[in-house]
Structure 1
Amino acid sequence: MPHRAPTRARILLAALLAAVLGVVLVPAAAASAATRAAPGATAVHYVALGDSYSSGVGAGDYDLSTCLRSDRSYAPLWAAQHQVTSFAFPACGGAVTADVLNNQLGPLSTSTTLVTITIGGNDAGFADIMSTCRFSSESDCVRRVDEARTFTTTVLPGRLDATYAAIRSRAPNARLIVLGYPRLFETGWCGALAMSSTKRTKINEAADLLASVTAGRAAAAGATFADTRSYFAGHGVCASSPWIKDVTGLIEAYHPNADGYRYGYLPALNAVTG
């Protein structure tokens, strides 16, 4: 089926998504904060790594001198809730596994006790998938998602293994928690201008595959996998109370909003940290 000429809206969204998801906006330097632990409490030295789903894109209230990091993301919320001894936050919008390896491992040390990360979605081409599926035909969407599925089962496992191994090497005493991505969509009726149910279902199926592969590689690395899908169930794009932003969010499109980080990601992390 021939491609239609790109519209101004598609070009704008693709450029903005690429800026947030496809490239690192600025060099990822560790943003550190510390609070005093309660007397007698075990010291927690926490480092939050990863991509835009860790930095908090979609939550708003960004530190614009960084990679769109937000204090409304799950990592700073967890750090504040647990009164950690130290907290470093080098997660960066747009990060792929190579960016974690090259730019984010500096704060890790033998003193680090907890590391969290979301990574892998950008390696699989998240920005291009979403712009293709939003603005092209169903056949184009299915083709692009199938390409990503092949990448997820063949190339991505090795990249995840290398990333987790590097974290282990730099922070051998830390507990590593790998958080997954939610399904983005509800698949019922969503208005005439929304993606078709076929497109939304196809993207959700790819999210399930990514979760399965990531969980498997996390387990192989001795890490804990925190599955966020059940926490976001009923709150995807097209829900009456969505925790994921649609295309109207522009650079925040298809990211959790502040409620998604607080009521989706934070409880998922709390469930595995106790």
Structure 2
Amino acid sequence: MPAHRTPALRRLAGTTLTALVAVLAGCGDGGGGVPSAPLPRGDAAAYVAIGDSYTAAPSVGDDVGDPGCRQTTANYPRRVAAALEVSLVDASCGGATTRHLTEPQGGHAPQLDALGPGTELVTYSLGINDHRLFGRMLACIDLGPEDVDPDPCERSFGTTRAAQDKHLDRDRERLIDAAFDGLAAVAERAPNARILVVGYPQIAPADVACAQFPVAANEVPLTHRINRTVNDALATAATRQGLDYVDLFAATQGHDICAEDPWIAGGEPTAPAFPYHPYATEQQVAAEQVLAALR
């Protein structure tokens, strides 16, 4: 899809990155930004955010929107909307998968329903809950750091590296197909919008677990590969659709759950956040990366 500048995007192009960062920093842990409203339809908003709990950012700020979706005032869509000074429909919902683009999620409307010809910007971040990948990644910590045979990861993904890779390769292909179709549907519903595909941050450490992420030592690399597999699938689907990909994994590298300065909460968050979900810092960085992509 060719890049074009809507009025909101033209305003952004004339704004310095320093000023944008200052606006984002002013959002703080507790919120501000754009107030939520019942999910409008069609042309009600210039910016529509599609996503799951890594977009909704539960517990990071005050709860807003659909109470079952755990959206908060400090999530990255509200930070982006505040910086752009545009109206927002945050369609994200905790636990969402790509099928919730077209199907209701409990009492939450299908996320595609928020789009229309008047939509100028869409951020899309779905996939980590498909095939229960996130849940299965967290299952790797169920028995703590002890090496057991077979451990929870091995029961889900195979007992050998070859079996695990084969399983993840299959999931990757399915994720690519789902994201490709989902993005095509977004483009059809919002033909005038700039669409950004937003990946997931570095959640799992690459090689060493910790008390906040007590995975058996031999399975730490697998949890890291799951994290990377989802991002690789989204990036591939974005490329095939001719869309820009916002690489949050690269932007947050070194700030995983077990890092000295974690931007993702572990099992016992040390700041406002839901366990195994982003802190406010990660949401600010996500917003900055989205705004930088728009420039």
Q: TM-score range by the shorter chain?
A: 0.7 to 0.9
SS in 2 for 1:47: strand
CA shift in 2, pair 1:109/1:194, >3 Å:
same
Relative distance call for 1:65 and 1:213 in structure 2 (3 A) is: closer
Q: Work out whether residues 101 and 166 of structure 1, in 8 Å CA contact, stay in contact via their aligned partners in 2.
A: no
CA shift in 2, pair 1:30/1:66, >3 Å: farther
* 1:19 alignment counterpart: none
Equivalent residue runs for 1:209-248 within 5 Å: 209-248=229-268
Q: Which amino acid aligns with 1:167?
A: V
Alpha-carbon offset, residue 139 of structure 1: 3.9
- Quote the residue 1:62 is aligned against: 63
Amino acid aligned to 2:246 = A
Partner of residue 73 from structure 2, selected from 71, 74, 94: 71
> Percent same amino acid among aligned pairs?
28
Rounded Cα–Cα distance in structure 2 between residues aligned with 1:237 and 1:230: 15
Aligned residue pairs total 234
Q: Which amino acid aligns with 2:284?
A: R
- Asked if the contact 1:49–1:115 (Cα under 8 Å) also holds between the matched residues in 2, the reply is yes
Q: Partner of 2:97 in structure 1?
A: 96
CA deviation map 1:68-97 (0-9, x unaligned): 00111111001001111x211111111111
Native 8 Å contact 1:246 1:253 kept in 2: yes
2:235 and 2:174 map into 1 onto residues whose CA distance is 15
TM-score w.r.t. length of structure 1: 0.76
Alignment of 1:1-274 (within 5 A): 30=39, 45-63=46-64, 65-84=67-86, 86-102=87-103, 103-136=110-143, 137=148, 139-145=151-157, 146=164, 149-186=168-205, 187-188=207-208, 190-191=210-211, 194-249=214-269, 252-263=274-285, 265-274=286-295
User: Once the two structures are superposed, what CA deviation does each residue of 1:25-73 show, in whole Å capped at 9, x if it has no partner?
Assistant: xxx96269xxxxxxxxxxx811111111111225242226351001111
> Following superposition, which runs of at least 4 residues in structure 1 exceed 4 angstroms of deviation?
none
Q: Which residue of 1 aligns with 2:106?
A: none
Q: Is residue 124–residue 148 contact of structure 1 (8 Å, CA) maintained in 2?
A: no
Distance of aligned partners of 1:31 and 1:127 in 2 relative to their CA distance in 1, 3 Å threshold: farther
Would the alpha carbon gap of residues 189 and 45 (structure 1) be closer, same or farther in structure 2, given more than 3 Å must change?
closer
Q: Distance in 1 between matches of 2:128 and 2:213?
A: 26
CA contact (8 A) 1:188 1:197 kept: yes
Deviates more, 1:87-96 or 1:240-249: 240-249
Structure 2 gap ranges (5+): 1-36, 104-109, 158-163
- Measured on the aligned residues, the alpha-carbon RMSD in Å equals 2.7
Deviations 1:229-248 (A, max 9, x none): 12211211111221101122
Alpha-carbon displacement from aligned partner over 1:110-164 (angstroms, at most 9, x marks no partner): 1111000110100031343133200144743145243861442232222112211
Quickly say closer, same or farther: Cα 1:216–1:125, change in 2 above 3 A. same
| Secondary structure, counterpart of 2:131 in structure 1 | coil
Q: Which amino acid aligns with 1:155?
A: R
* Cα distance change of structure 1 residues 76 and 159 upon mapping to structure 2, 3 Å threshold: same
Secondary structure of the corresponding residue to residue 155 of structure 1? helix
| Greater Cα shift, 154-163 or 196-205 | 196-205
Q: Partner of 1:111: helix, strand, or coil? A: coil
Question: What is the SS of the residue equivalent to 2:47?
Answer: strand
